[in-house]
Amino acid sequence: MDQKESLKRIEERNNNISAREENVEAIVSCIFSSKFPEKFMVERITHHMLQGKILLEVEVSMPPDIRIRDAMEAGKEAEKEILNAASNIVHVNVQLRLGSPIPQFKYT
């Protein structure tokens, strides 16, 4: 295999990984927006690849009027929904943030 072929394969693999990452983020966002719109706002999605499988950490904020117990139960339900939605996701951890969404900082 020459250098051009090797670079082409690496580029194709990177494109496939990027497409999978975008797909995972779309799945997570869709589940939260369709099934839990009044309970959570997705703040951050962190995914890790391990031997072709995906491990997810999803940070969400919740409204101040929701009880923590209710939020924890909904978070567990969201984890199950995400695991059922994609076979290459093997672990999901939903991290709950109390209060309003994280403000966007502007650097001057």
Q: Is the pLDDT of residue 17 over 50?
A: no
- Residue 72 inside a domain? The answer is yes
- Residue 106 inside a domain? The answer is no
- Residue 107 inside a domain? The answer is no
Give the residue-averaged pLDDT of 32-61: 88
- Residue 85 inside a domain? The answer is yes
* Residue predicted with more confidence, 107 or 58: 58
Q: Is the pLDDT of residue 56 over 90?
A: yes
- Residue 88 inside a domain? The answer is yes
Which CATH number do you get for residue 22? 3.30.70.1350
Give the residue-averaged pLDDT of 71-93: 91
Residue 15 to residue 21: CA distance in whole angstroms = 10
- Residue 80 inside a domain? The answer is yes
Range(s) of the domain holding residue 40: 3-97
Contacts with 58 (C-beta within 8 Å, 6 or more apart), sequence order: 28, 32, 42, 44, 45, 46, 78, 82, 92, 93, 94, 95
- Residue 108 inside a domain? The answer is no
pTM (two decimals): 0.69
- Residue 25 inside a domain? The answer is yes
Structurally, how many domains does the chain consist of?
1
Helices (H), the chain: 3-35, 68-85
